[in-house]
DNA sequence: CGTCGAATTGATGTCATTCAACTACAGTGG
DNA sequence: CCACTGTAGTTGAATGACATCAATTCGACG
């Protein structure tokens, strides 16, 4: 996958002049984290949103039995954050970690305030992001309550076509709320039916 | 349940002077709808958010097999809206209808703009609502992928203690993504174990 | 009282989980 | 370079959870 720099991303998404972008960008720190590094743990307050420039992050919980449940993946060009923890300053219930070596931009409250003051466009875009997030969550809930394991997997492929190859299968299962074995069988059946050579 | 007027609600939640509240409130229309009336249908753009003063609304989808799947309940003091449809002006996939006779306040874009200009407090509160919404959705997803039918029901009771009595059981089942029969059995088992006289 | 939808119950079926065995493969150290 | 180890993925068999179908009861309301 191609690297997506945050500066380029802002230019595309928001109509800002170069000068403002530079001003914003130099307020930010960009960091690299290796695979398996943990960026947020339960009990901590989520103090940053992460914009993924290159690599892959995930947001997940661990239940009483020690099982992981993945709420979100964030490949290049995505944000990941426990928004309610960050906004309300509550301790989080969730983990964020790196599935691949990942370079990301750290975004904190000060930056958001600063950028919002500098540019009303940025403010608006931020609002847009929130609504986009809500749309995603809502669609996901609908899929979870309405669909079978098979359909959930198909919804997943439609949503993240590229991730199907990049993410280990047991993580996809964990995202869908099914076991790795079940997903394996779902895939076998799908392959049987839609057999197509490549 | 007690009626919650929107004016009172605003006073409690946002620090506004009486004059501003009046100014805002007279921009709004309050309407009553009878049980079973439909306020939003798939294919329409969701042009209003509804604040429930008295009664009960629901947001739901219907799948290809004709089954309903309930995404949200909104009793007194709650907002209900298909946010992504309203914000992005896309046609909705969802229904909103009245479970009980309901009086509600219609809130549209013009009002939000107007109120946002009049009062930065209002703007902030609006942002707060968005984050609150996201928190809810995220917790719900976590419950849906991590919990058994029984645990989902317990999560539901914890979240909406009063609704347990007000909402028909088959709707709760539809909210949880299980069948009415399953919910009935879950309840029987819970009752057997935690037997307590009332 | 009669009707209709909601809820319960039982019998049965199906889908997904669990547990265990096995394969494939990547990484590690001898 | 090759065993050794650990993790991912697949497969099978048994189990369990939830769904489906059908019958019955319950309760609200005209």
Q: Is A124 on the interface with B (CB under 8 A)?
A: no
Whether residue A72 is contained in a domain is answered as yes
In-domain check, residue A165: yes
| A126 lies in the same domain as A58 | yes
CB contact under 8 A, B69 and A132: no
Residues 6+ apart with CB under 8 A from B21: B7, B10, B11
- Whether residue A108 sits in one domain with residue A60: yes
The verdict on B117 touching A (C-beta cutoff 8 Å) is no
In a domain, B190, yes or no: no
Secondary structure string (H, E, C) spanning chain A:
CCCCCHHHHHHHHCCCCHHHHHHHHCCCEEEEECCCCEEECCCCECCCEEEEEECCEEEEEECCCCCEEEEEEECCCCEECCHHHHHHCCECCCEEEECCCEEEEEECHHHHHHHHHHCHHHHHHHHHHHHHHHHHHHHHHHHHHHCCHHHHHHHHHHHCCCHHHHCCHHHHHHHHCCCHHHHHHHHHHHHHHCCCCC
β strands within chain B, DSSP E: 29-33, 38-40, 49-54, 57-62, 68-74, 79-80, 95-98, 102-107
Mean pLDDT of the residues in chain B: 92
For residues A112 and A44, membership in a common domain is answered with yes
Q: Are residues A169 and A85 in the same domain?
A: no
| CB contacts, 8 Å: B70 with chain A | 145
Q: Do A137 and B138 touch (CB under 8 A)?
A: yes
* D18 C1' to B144 CA distance, Å: 15
In a domain, A19, yes or no: yes
**Is B83 close to A134, i.e. CB distance below 8 A?**
yes
Note whether residue A97 is domain-resident. yes
Confidence grade of residue B58 (pLDDT, cut at 50, 70, 90):
very high
Q: Does A126 touch chain B (CB under 8 A)?
A: no
Those residues whose C-beta lies under 8 Å from the C-beta of residue A186, and which sit 6 or more positions away, are: A149, A150, A153, A178
Residues of B in contact with A42 (CB under 8 A): none
Distance, CA of A60 to C1' of C27, in Å: 27
Instruction: Count residue pairs from A and B with Cβ separation < 8 A.
Output: 92
The number of folded domains in chain B is 1
pLDDT of residue A26: 82
- Domain residues for the domain of A137 are 6-145
Q: What is the pLDDT of residues A53-111, one digit of tens each?
A: 999 999 999 998 889 999 999 999 999 999 999 999 999 999 999 999 999 999 999 99
Same domain (yes/no): A82, A130: yes
CA dihedral B134, B135, B139, B142 (to 10 degrees): 60
| Position A1 in a domain | no
Average pLDDT over residues A144-166: 94
DSSP label at residue B26: T
Which residues in chain A have their CB less than 8 angstroms from residue B174's CB?
A: 145
Global pTM value = 0.94
Q: What confidence tens digit (pLDDT) does each residue in B139-164 have?
A: 999 999 999 999 999 999 999 999 99
By residue count, chain B amounts to 198
Asked whether residue A85 falls in the same domain as residue A154, the answer is no
CATH assignment of the domain containing A84: 2.60.120.10
Pick the residue from chain B with its C-alpha nearest to A85: B135
Q: Are B49 and B80 in contact (CB under 8 A)?
A: yes
Residue A157 sits in the same domain as residue A93: no
Is the domain of A99 the same as that of A140?
A: yes
Alpha-carbon gap: B177 to the closest alpha carbon of chain A (Å)? 4
Nearest-CA distance A69 → chain B (Å) = 6
In a domain, B167, yes or no: no
Mutation site, B145, B151, B178, interface A, largest A CB count within 10 A: B145
Q: Evaluate the CA torsion angle B22, B24, B29, B32 in order and state its sign.
A: negative
Q: Render pLDDT for B88-112 as a digit per residue (tens, 0 to 9).
A: 999 999 999 999 999 999 999 999 9
Query: What is the arithmetic mean of pLDDT over A12-28?
Result: 84
In a domain, A196, yes or no: yes
């Amino acid at each position: 996958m191609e690297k997506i720099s945050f500066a380029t991303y802002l230019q595309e998404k928001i109509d800002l002049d170069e000068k403002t972008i530079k001003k914003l960008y130099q307020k930010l720190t960009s960091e690299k984290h290796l695979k398996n590094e943990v960026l947020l743990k339960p009990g901590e307050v989520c103090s940053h949103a992460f914009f993924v420039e290159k690599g892959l992050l995930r947001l997940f919980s661990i239940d009483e039995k020690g099982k992981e449940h993945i709420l979100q993946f964030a490949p290049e060009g995505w944000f990941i954050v426990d928004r309610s923890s960050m906004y309300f300053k509550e301790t989080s219930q969730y983990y964020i970690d790196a599935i691949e070596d990942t370079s990301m931009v750290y975004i904190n409250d000060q930056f958001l305030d600063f950028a919002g003051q500098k540019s009303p466009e940025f403010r608006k875009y931020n609002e847009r992001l929130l609504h986009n997030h809500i749309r995603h969550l809502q669609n996901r809930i609908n899929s979870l309550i309405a669909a079978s394991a098979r359909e959930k997997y198909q919804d997943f492929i439609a949503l993240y076509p590229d991730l199907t190859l990049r993410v280990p299968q047991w993580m996809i299962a964990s995202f869908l709320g099914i076991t790795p074995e079940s997903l394996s069988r779902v895939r076998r059946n799908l392959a049987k039916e839609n057999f197509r050579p490549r």
